[in-house]
Amino acid sequence: MDANLYINGEWVPTEKRITVENPATLEAVGSAPYAGKEEALLAVAAAEAALPAWRSKTANERAALILKWHQLIIENKETIARIMTLEQGKPLQEALGEVMYAASFLTWYAEEAKRVYGQTVPASAPNKRILVLKQPVGVVAAITPWNFPAAMITRKVGPAIAAGCTVVIKPSEYTPLTAYKLAELAHEAGIPAGVLNVVTGNEKEIGETWMADERVRKVSFTGSTRVGKLLMRQAADTVKNISLELGGHAPYIITKSANLDLTVKEFIAPKFRNAGQTCICPNRVYVHESIRDRFVQQLTDEVRKLKVGNGLEEGVNIGPLINKAAVEKVQNHLQDALDKGAKLATPYEPISAKGYFVPPVVLTDVSDDMLCMREETFGPVVPVVTYRTTEEVIERANKTRYGLAAYVFSQDIQEAFVISEGLEYGIVGLNDGLPATAQAPFGGMKESGIGREGGHWGIEEFLEVKYISLNLG
């Protein structure tokens, strides 16, 4: 598959191109355009020009077009999932799941478009009225990562265009083909030219161009904390609205009252989904010392069953990592842990196939000073540590600059609530390993980000509050 830029409803070729690689085979799966400043500016001009007509449509009109886009995504779900597996690596079933998850943001926000309510507030003088309106913030720049090539786009673009904003999107250069496929379907759905534009190429140059542009009123970013901080600095010059969904370092706390079967079952999906490359993957396990041995036994039994391989093959649970640097980072974390005294609770058997594969591995005898306990590993590594008291585990879990997701497994309501309340995290999965869903607020505290995506909170990020003070004389 070969894609071109999508600007102002047209497919625009570029001279330079990006080869898109399949991380499972290292073969080319297609190519994408490589754009720079010039095309980035064209995209903003298109979004700016489309804004007045788009925001003037009724919410019902916008909703109808978003629902049509949703319908086309569902009709093409197998095609999109296949593209995603080819360029990103995740198992096909998982890719299909992501397509459905991505589509769910479009129905949710098509509906939510109709509920952008204002307020009237009792005034302090008899002749005055206080009216509060919500209006679209304007042109939005959406910069998205490779780990969820479809869902991170619809989670931003759904609420943005539902609110009446227009969007310029820069997906990751590792997974551009999924993004262009989504744009093709938006076009087919009749979303007007300029409302949604997609550009890929020189990430730094495109980013700088959009961040410096006064016409772009909002940036919504999902990706690394490093780039998030850079965008935040760049946003300062034009005082842009910002929403950032950055890295995480999720603790998975298993108390002595936990239901171990449930705890292990709920652990496998979020930990090994996407080969451990999600920002809410459990990064470190804190298990109460009294049940540590039983937990490690049950966990390793399950981990041994996981099959690593090409995501297009039947029965594969874990696909490749995204690139060589990702593999090196995981190996570095692993080596660091082993050097500092950690032990392998599952055998580490390197995979001979050509591709960025890493086997799943459980580590015990872990200490808090190891890299895997402090930095995002973004891979299928499970460090397990023990704890004694509730206060201690809350303190250790919070001892990080991140604050995205945390998990608590407990059947003692008092203990479960004390821990959940004490955690400095935007999302707590309480006896639940898969908390992300379109209608709930997703986002982090501390260096994990600013703002929330999902639910009615997600559309607020694309709305300005306008206060009209009416004097009746």
Catalytic residues: 245, 279
Mapped onto helix, strand or coil, the DSSP state of residue 46 is: helix
Q: Could you tell me the smallest distance in angstroms from the CB atom of residue 378 to ligand ADP?
A: 8
Give the nearer residue to ligand ADP in terms of CB position, either 394 or 436: 436
Give the nearer residue to ligand ADP in terms of CB position, either 175 or 390: 175
Q: Could you tell me the smallest distance in angstroms from the CB atom of residue 328 to ligand ADP?
A: 13
H/E element, 423: none
Mapped onto helix, strand or coil, the DSSP state of residue 116 is: coil
Q: Could you tell me the smallest distance in angstroms from the CB atom of residue 379 to ligand ADP?
A: 13
327: how many CB neighbours lie within 10 A of its CB? 18
The answer to whether residues 19 and 28 touch, using CB atoms and an 8 Å cutoff, is: yes
Q: Could you tell me the smallest distance in angstroms from the CB atom of residue 419 to ligand ADP?
A: 29
Give the nearer residue to ligand ADP in terms of CB position, either 173 or 432: 173
Give the nearer residue to ligand ADP in terms of CB position, either 158 or 223: 223
Cα-flanking dihedrals φ and ψ of residue 399, to 5°? -80, 70
Exposure of 152 by Cβ count < 10 A (0-12 exposed, 13-18 middle, 19+ buried)? buried
386: how many CB neighbours lie within 10 A of its CB? 20
Partners of 383 in the β-ladder:
363
200: how many CB neighbours lie within 10 A of its CB? 30
The DSSP letter of residue 387 is E
Indicate the residue whose CB is closest to ligand ADP. 207
Q: Could you tell me the smallest distance in angstroms from the CB atom of residue 427 to ligand ADP?
A: 18
Cα-flanking dihedrals φ and ψ of residue 163, to 5°? -75, -15
Give the nearer residue to ligand ADP in terms of CB position, either 207 or 449: 207
Q: Could you tell me the smallest distance in angstroms from the CB atom of residue 7 to ligand ADP?
A: 17
Per DSSP, the residues of 123-152 read -SSTTEEEEEEEEE--EEEEE--SSSTTHH
Q: Which positions touch ligand ADP (CB under 6 A)? A: 143-146, 170, 172-173, 203-204, 207, 223-224, 227, 230
The DSSP letter of residue 10 is E
190 contact partners, CB below 8 Å, separation of at least 6: 65, 68
Give the nearer residue to ligand ADP in terms of CB position, either 138 or 247: 247
Give the nearer residue to ligand ADP in terms of CB position, either 224 or 331: 224
Give the nearer residue to ligand ADP in terms of CB position, either 224 or 238: 224
Q: Could you tell me the smallest distance in angstroms from the CB atom of residue 302 to ligand ADP?
A: 27
Distance (Å) of CA 46 to CA 42, 189, 193, 223, 371: 6, 18, 8, 25, 45
The answer to whether residues 362 and 282 touch, using CB atoms and an 8 Å cutoff, is: no
20 contact partners, CB below 8 Å, separation of at least 6: 28, 29, 30, 31, 32, 87, 174, 175, 176, 177
End-to-end CA distance of the chain: 65
The Cα–Cα gap between 225 and 229 comes to 6
Q: Could you tell me the smallest distance in angstroms from the CB atom of residue 91 to ligand ADP?
A: 19
Distance (Å) of CA 300 to CA 42, 381, 382: 53, 12, 10
